Chains A and B, each alone.
Chain A
Amino acid sequence: MHRYRFVFYRPLQLLPVLVGISIITFVLVHSIPGDPARILLGTRATPEALANIRAQFGLDEPIWVQYFDFVKNLFHGEMGRSILYKVDVIGLILGRLEPTLVLVFGSVILSLIITIPLATLAAGHRGGAIDHAVRMISTGGLGMPAFWLGIMLIILFSVKLGLFPVSGYGQSVADKLHHMVLPCLTIALSLSAVLTRSLRASLLAEMESDAAMAARARGLPEHIVFRRHVLPNSLIPTLNLLAVNIGWLISGTVVVESVFAIPGMGQLLIRAIFTRDYMVVQGVAMLFALASVLTNFLADILTVVLDPRVTL
């Protein structure tokens, strides 16, 4: 199982990146113009209270001591307190985790459901009208703003057809899923534009590969050759592309959560920016960065599982 050894040492290699992430978020919050103590307490705070808070948060200490305190607190799961909500940032974020996770996973699954038939159709009709149409749609899709696409879907499916709710998240599981169809579709459509191009190209290459030809020479019918040999080999680079685009996907959820008023991490971030709730901004940014690092790590593991030739 030497191919999986990287699972143990890769996190060590990622250490510099993680340190970098903590430095960037720390520097961000410390470059806020003005007195952090005043920001924490508001403008009407007494001088005693300000001095108190400075001592309490170590704001009198040199900057590097403050950084180490910050990292030490991170290891205890502390990311400071939200000024607006008056609760720990970490708890606040965890409460908003579910809708965002549903949105991310739902979009990925939906995008694959859209991409695979579309790319197959395009590759199967290479150079034909369908191929050109798919190519035009995906080029157009690349330039489609998620916030506008979301609104268009609302106008069509919610306002005109009345099939889905306009916004919000819902209570029961079924209700939540019902609310999440359009948001997931919004991201999935944009994502499919990227994935379809890549999958079409690798499908074309694999359909003409020696291995596919040999499978045909064995008498296997085209649909089996496609499903068992062409598709699995083509999906590997596409799944990698999906992982590389995780940052883009998270950015998409931030916007789409605002469009559909979904109480997730993205909406939390936007609201925190407007209310100058810096600790929340810091926490959400850091967690999103961690999530994207983790996703790429998991994608590496998945690649090794799917492609026996790969060693990392």
Chain B
Amino acid sequence: MSEATLDRPMPRRFLGRLTAGVPQPMLIGGAILTVFLVLAIGAPLISPYDPVYQDIAARLAPPSLAHPFGTDNFGRDILARVIWSARVDLQIAVLGVIFPFIIGTATGTIAGYFGGLTDTLFMRVVDVVLAFPFLVLMLAIIAILGPGLASFYIAMGLVGWVSYARLIRAQILVLRQSDFAMAAKSLGFSHWRIMFRHLLPNAMVGSIVFSMSDAVLVLLNGAAISYLGLGVQPPTAEWGIMVADGQAFISIAWWISTFPGLAIVVLAFGFSLLADGLGEKLGVRP
């Protein structure tokens, strides 16, 4: 926050010039995210082992030079599995935010712009969805659709849009009364054009910042649902499943559950810092 800006500016070289004026949390958050992106994309090159290769001789091996994070009960290398999981979990965090973002932005814009009965109806639906505990409603939807990642995304889209709809609607309600909206209306532009070309770009700042902190919640929910056995299905490597797999062995092999969980913590921390920094930069409190 403001404490960081009080620091004496350090001499900057090229990288420094590139990042000048970017809040420190955002830099750290961005760096963390970049590392995970590299891990996810370069998994086949970076990963020391095949994530599904079972080395029966090396079952439940503790962390060592050969296996820095140890191995699981099938002799699979934990580090390799943690790296490959980044692909799945990053995808969960990104897609799990994008679908709700799009649905929520569209409904929020329409509700805020037209107001009246449309608005009332939309907001009642929002109230009802918000009345349900988030995870419980998601689980109920997944119960109907059957376990799996596709069900997770559908459930996410059906439940997660409400926060975005509320944020956008509140902004649109204010912007609708502004001079430039009036001007656009007097020029005879279509509703569609005014809504999405003129109002929406100005209304989106808050929800973009929110989407960063929302990514944390989505990631945690996705991992939790996989942990419960209702999301990503084995043998796909995913951090939540890995934690669940290791739980049976916590008394003899603590590393199986510990490292995948740490990966979640670090990635979530990265998103949180990014959200903090972005909010600070754009003057929005998430």
Contacts and interface: CB of A to CB of B under 8 A. Distances in A.
A143 B264 contact: yes
A145 B131 contact: no
A241 interface: no
Given A147-B243, A273-B230, A142 B258 contact: no
A250 B136 contact: yes
Contacts, number: 158
Interface stretch (B71-79, B140-148, B192-200, B203-211): B140-148
Interface in A261-296: 269-270, 272-274, 276, 278, 281-282, 284-285, 288-289, 292-293
Interface string B93-127: 00000000000000000000000000000001101
Contact of B228 (A132, A255, A278): A255
Interface of A is mostly: helix
A32 interface: yes
A166 to B, nearest CB: 8
A156 to B, nearest CB: 9
Nearest to B246: A151
Nearest to A167: B247
B136 A251 contact: yes
Given A151-B243, A250-B133, A255-B135, A143 B228 contact: no
B272 A142 contact: yes
A20 B128 contact: yes
Interface of B is mostly: helix
14 contacts: A16-B124, A20-B125, A20-B128, A28-B141, A143-B216, A145-B227, A147-B223, A159-B250, A247-B131, A255-B135, A255-B227, A273-B230, A281-B140, A284-B136
Interface string B1-28: 0010000000000000000000000000
B130 interface: yes
Contacts of B247: 151, 259
Interface of A: 16-17, 20-21, 23-25, 28-29, 31-33, 127, 132, 139-140, 142-149, 151-152, 154-155, 159, 246-251, 254-255, 258-259, 269-270, 272-274, 276, 278, 281-282, 284-285, 288-289, 292-293
B85 interface: no
Given A272-B143, A273-B143, A254 B135 contact: yes
